[in-house]
Amino acid sequence: MKFAKLIRRNLFRNKLRTILTMLLLAVIFFFVATLLSILANFDSVSQAAAGTNRLVVQSAISLANMMPYAHEQKLRQLPGTVDTCKLQWIGAYYKDKKNFFANFAVDADKLATVFDDFQVTPKERADFLADRRGALVGTELMKRFGWKIGDRITLTRQIFPFDPELTIRGTYVHPVNTSSLYFHMEYFQEAIGNPGQVDMFWVKVRDAKQMAAMSQQIDAMFKNSDFPTETFTEKEFQQNFLSMMGNVKLLFTAVSSCAVFMVVLLAAITMSMSARERVTEIAVLKAIGFEQRLVLGIMLTEFILLTVIGGAVGSFGARLAFTVIDMGKLTQGFLQNFSVHAPTIALCLALSAGVGLIAGGLPAIRASNLSVVDGLRRVV
């Protein structure tokens, strides 16, 4: 600590360059923290199904192909099945196409048993069940559109030939899924002429250890039928859904790596300039008794402190910014409960320290290895 004053003065010997370097680092680490938080958000979506013991049964051809109701009776008869629920993606929007969100027709009376991690008050659940055109809406979606219980809304068709006219009867609370809307399967079937088909069956399984075996059993049962199936765990289904966008994780990781590599190069240029300017000063320090390791330690501390301050400003700035910016609204519910969490900040700080060590290592070593005579002789 007795060298803290020396480190501070050297750090800010060229105030403009130091401040600009810190700002550059802050901007880049703001960007990196945001990308890493998006990846963490994707992981939280895929991990949210842990412990729910649900299987998703869809057509083996594609998710868009529908299956007959008759499949459900066979699914119910499987040993280990607690309950089943039909789910249909509607794909409608509210007022404007930019107001797109996940909306489904569902067996309303099966929500409590199959989707038991959705928290709904007893009164609102009863009101939802009693109203054939009732809707159950996520808390983030209610906030986004300023809806209230009892509001009547109309969704606009994109896939099916009807515009759902609904009354909001309740809200649900869920750790991840906060921006979806559910309404009665009976209303959907009546509106499109009772085809008796649906694109997904969700199966609640009693024992998680049975899920792999049940998945194989379900697909084998319908393999030779006119409507073969493909069965996933909920976690696998969420991961497959995210993979439709391509390998986003690889893309974001690559972009983050490029950003860190770029900041290493920029920091190395700044630190090399700083080391060159101080050659004579370092020679004087060594002449009055400063050991080579001490000089090296002081310079590395200064360089690492520079990058860590920039990284801290950027990562903490990202955390503060996304408490104000509603990413759920901005991304139309794609990023739900988005935030920059402590592990992401810790990783950014570690990366920034690594940048300082790598970028400042060579200039610091070269400057500290310079002999007193050569240092005093050199004109900067």
Cα(167)–Cα(165) distance, rounded to whole angstroms? 7
In which region does residue 151 sit, left (phi positive, over 0), alpha (psi from -120 to 50) or beta (all else)?
beta
Query: What pLDDT, in 10s, does the model give residues 54-86?
Result: 999 999 988 888 999 999 999 999 998 999 999
pLDDT > 90? residue 35: no
- Dig out the tokens for 33 from the structure: 């923290």
Question: Which pLDDT does position 378 carry in this prediction?
Answer: 59
- The Cβ of residue 171 has, within 10 Å, a number of other Cβ atoms equal to 23
**pLDDT confidence band for 380 (50 / 70 / 90):** very low
Confidence (pLDDT) at 187: 94
Mind listing the pLDDT tens digit for each residue in 79-116?
989 999 999 999 899 998 888 888 999 999 999 899 98
Confidence (pLDDT) at 293: 77
pTM above 0.85, yes or no: no
Q: Are 46 and 238 in contact (CB under 8 A)?
A: yes
Angle at 312 between CA 311 and CA 316, to 5 degrees: 120
Structure confidence by residue, pLDDT tens digits, 205-258: 998 888 889 999 999 999 988 899 999 888 888 776 666 555 666 777 777 788
Tell which residue, 348, 325, 68, has the closest CA to residue 198.
68
More confident residue, 279 or 38: 38
CA distances from residue 264 to 22, 274, 346 in whole angstroms, order as listed: 13, 15, 18
Q: How many whole angstroms separate alpha carbon 235 and alpha carbon 241?
A: 10
Asked which of 106-110, 273-277, 318-322 is least confident by mean pLDDT, the reply is 273-277
